[in-house]
Structure 1
Amino acid sequence: MTAIETDGGGTEQELPRKKLSGKKIVLFIVLPILVIGAAAAGVVFSGILHKGDEEHAEEEETHAAPPAECKGPPAFVDFPDVLVNLNTKERRPQFLKLNIKLELCSALDVPAVTAVLPRITDTFQVYLRELRVDDLNGSAGVYRLREELLMRVNTAAYPTRVQDVLIQEILVQ
């Protein structure tokens, strides 16, 4: 230890500096960083900072809102028969044959849908070729098939909306 002179002419011994203990580091450094980080994450994830996104929210609501119910008689479009081989691990191929009709709100939508039939056929072929026989078992399998085809046809025919996909014939061989 070193001696330090004071104004009174005497000497005092200098005390050694203490190191910060682990508890003090956690209490005064790590804990405040964690609290500030949690508060920042809460602000970001709660959406408080997204004041300018109100316009985008309105646009999403218009796209997500279900369309008005159809008025008047529906129109039907015959879809060409679809024949695909299913995804199997066996040597013997299995086939799926579908005969469907598309239900539209009005006859005014028929030209728009018939113009995009090749696109609809392509999306159906890509989806159907990945199906397995187990995917089509029972009424639940056929229901999932209808819902999936409806979603895909509405995506392909956008902005025209197809009301329903009506399965006329389904054959798995």
Structure 2
Amino acid sequence: MAAEAEVDDGAPAKKGIPKLFIIIGAAAIVVLLAGAGLYVFLSSSSAPSDAEAGQAAEASAAATAGHTFIFNLPPMIVNLNNEADSGAFMKLTVALEVANEEMMVEIQPRMAKVVDAFQVYLRELRRSDLEGSAGVYRLKEELLRRVNVAIYPSRVESILFKEILVQ
């Protein structure tokens, strides 16, 4: 009987050892994850205060405005793709933001290609394509892509809408 008790006592001790390793491993993982989270939190909290961030944003906006140039395109009036013979048209006035004056000189001879690329794209639009802010954003991104293709290797920073009229 003593031998049986000894065997019974030994068996649970062997089963308890793997559970102990699992618990220690899980605790180590939790500690590592907590440490990583704390590191990310502390590194992001070193960001400037709201006042400093506002001043930095104003300074960078002034620097950006001082280092970019605006190239105005003539107004464009195009017929939109007729959904049901509605005769819709769009008047669009666009300006191109370029990095420097040299870029303005470089893209000037290629403006006919830019206007052509815009006209071809705009004539395929439907009135429903231009609804809401998402439609205007898609229009802006597509025009930016097309102008950069037309004037490659030069590059336009952004498209600025001066007027959008759809009737």
Output the TM-score relative to the length of structure 2.
0.60
Q: Which residue identity does 1:92 align to in structure 2? A: S
Greater gyration radius: 1
Cα shift at 1:72: 5.6
Give 1:112 shift.
Answer: 1.2
Residue 138 (1) aligns with residue 132 (2): yes
8 Å CA contact retained: 2:71, 2:104 = yes
Paired residues for 1:24-39 under 5 Å: none
1:76 aligns with 2:88: no
Residue 143 of structure 2 is matched in structure 1 by 149
Write out aligned runs for 1:12-27 (5 A).
none
Aligned counterpart in structure 2 of residue 88 of structure 1, from 79, 82, 89: 82
Task: Name the structure, 1 or 2, with higher relative contact order (CA <8 Å, separation 6+).
Answer: 2
C-alpha offsets along residues 33-89 of structure 1, whole Å, 9 cap, x if unaligned? xxxxxxxxxxxxxxxxxxxxxxxxxxxxxxxxxxxxx89610110111111000013
| Residue of structure 2 in register with 1:116 after alignment | 110
Gaps of at least 5 residues in structure 2 are 1-63
Q: Is the contact between residue 78 and residue 122 of structure 2 (CA under 8 Å) also seen in structure 1?
A: yes
Q: 1:164 aligns with which of 150, 153, 158?
A: 158
Q: Do 2:83 and 2:126's aligned partners in 1 also have CA atoms closer than 8 Å? A: no
Query: Cα offset for 1:111?
Result: 1.1
Structure 1 match to 2:97: 103
What's the Cα RMSD here? 1.5
Q: Give a deviation string over 1:85-115, Cα, whole Å, max 9, x none.
A: 0001323310011001000011110011111
Say which structure is richer in strand: 1
Question: Does structure 1 retain, via aligned residues, the 8 Å contact 2:96–2:159?
Answer: yes
Identity %: 47
Q: TM-score, normalised by structure 1?
A: 0.58
Letter in 1 for 2:126: R
Counting matched residue pairs gives 104
Structure 1: gaps of 5 or more residues: 1-69
Distance 1:86 1:71 in 2: 34
Q: Decide which structure has greater helix share.
A: 2
SS in 1 for 2:157: strand
**How many angstroms apart in 2 are the aligned matches of 1:72 and 1:106?**
10
